[in-house]
A = this chain, B = another copy of it.
């Protein structure tokens, strides 16, 4: 009887293996042909592999294949001799003797994907994502993204947080407002979750500390460089806090973990994209009201909306804290009650404000957090003050009814953090297949 045992017997050499080979050794490796540069009697054939690029050399009269038999995006297996060469990616090249064509494309690529900068319009870049993502620089962007998630998860796991998976089809929106997608659920009205808010709070009562990495859906009618209608949320929630600043400490620890993961495990991509990793010990904190006033004074601006930060204000706060304290990050704390959701806890010292905060990074809000109301009566009262009917939240209110420790948490947008890290102004470049008001494809 046939069986499988989980033993992977691949004879393909990965780059990390090839690097360890000696000059003159015979090697065999597969990949997709990224580019072919004919140079007269020889040619460079660049192979795109899982873990990077490999330079192969065709030499007329020595290589036993014809250049006309291969082309870009062919999947091939190359056999040849390894030669050390510092000018090549990873310090070696393969002098190719044979190339076996495994598959060939139906058409030639619509664009030359091996250019360092593709120089496409955003529209075209997204339309051709199945192809443009094959570009080596573009690939690196989503490795950076992977590293961010890895660093987040590592910190959460190391600090006793339980990973959770909460439903994305929900009966009630957690964040209020009109920016919620509706769907028909077997004849009933349902929504796509704007955040895992209710569920992560619920699970604080179960596991005390929880986290989730999952899609978040916002039907915002904003066609800006900072909005996506579906994004990846990095969420955590923790109980038994003595002060809402504890949440900020954990968030800071998580961010440090992300950065050190990138530094240690994604150095290649960091270098390739010229990412300047922020170096810091501490993140300064400023109250919302004070921040508003500081930049009004500093940059001679009028305060138009006293309840929220305009995008330009976020940029100026970041600018100011960069200049004054050399900090890429700023915590803006104590947002007004008016602009925070119904579950936000009021500041006992000034009930017009909440025990909440945003984290700004290089001019952009990348995360929102705060302490939540744990007391049943207080939560019901606040719902009513926000014109919400507590009966619509019966299931959620069960946690307040049956007891909750003081708790809070944050939600961070992966694409935004990634965009600021790689200094890309538009979050559409840090989402593999972005969803915005006009895009559902690819």
Note all chain B residues with C-beta closer than 8 A to A252.
4-6
A275 interfacial contact with B, CB 8 Å = no
Contact status A30-B240, CB under 8 Å: yes
Contact with B along A140-173 (1 / 0, CB 8 A): 0011011001100000010110111111111100
Partner of A6, one of B51, B110, B214, B253: B253
Query: In the bound complex, do residue B168 and residue A215 qualify as a contact, i.e. CB atoms below 8 Å apart?
Result: yes
Number of copies: 2
Kindly identify which residue among B130, B142, B143, B166 contacts A202, using a CB–CB cutoff of 8 Å.
Answer: B130
**Residues in chain B near residue A4, CB distance under 8 A:** 245, 248-249, 252, 282-283, 285, 331
* Number of chain A residues close to chain B: CB under 8 A: 124
Bound complex: CA A181 to CA B254 (Å): 35
Interchain CA distance A401-B103 in the complex, whole Å? 11
Majority-rule SS of A interface residues: mixed
Evaluate contact between A6 and B256: CB separation under 8 angstroms: yes
Across the two chains, which residue of chain B brings its CB closest to A400?
B106
Within 8 Å of chain B (Cβ to Cβ): is A350?
A: no
Closest to A247 in B: B4
CB-defined contacts of A256 to chain B, threshold 8 Å:
6
Q: Is A7 an interface residue (CB 8 A)?
A: yes
A209 in contact (CB, < 8 A): yes
- Tell me whether B181 and A184 are in contact (CB under 8 A): yes
Known contacts A183-B192, A403-B75: does B240 contact A167 (CB below 8 Å)?
no
* Interface flag for A356 (CB, 8 Å): no
